[in-house]
Amino acid sequence: MDRRDRSLVRPYVVTDGRSQPSRNTFDLVTLVTVAANRPPATAGPEHRRIVELCSHGSLSVAEVAGHLRLPASIVKVLLGDLVDSGHILARAAVPRAWRPEPELLREVLHGLRARL
């Protein structure tokens, strides 16, 4: 990537020097959704962009970071601000469901057929 393509604003400036989110609830696969369509009046451009991105549906933290071209650690701080202000809702991704072994399913099927 060419140096001229990079933002002139350093990531720590975007977060006012903060390196940790106000809450530790964000993982790369945490899904974020808009709770209020308007960002806070005091929001910076990155906060407004996050609300705009998420207004079309849920996105993961990794997707938001990719769209903003910012490190995920910085995006987590920004998302923490928006969660605290009530503009974004965060929820953990749905874990993979446990799948029973095919042999167990066959045995259940045979047992049901035997009863009918």
What are the C-alpha distances in Å from 54 to residues 7, 71, 75, 116?
22, 18, 13, 51
Whether pLDDT at 5 is above 50: no
Per DSSP, the residues of 24-82 read S---TT-EEEESSSS--TT--HHHHHHHHHHTTS-EEHHHHHHHHTS-HHHHHHHHHHH
Q: What is the pLDDT of residues 75-100, one digit of tens each?
A: 998 998 898 888 899 988 777 777 88
- Structural domain harbouring 37: 3-115
Higher pLDDT, 9 or 73: 73
Total domains present in the chain = 1
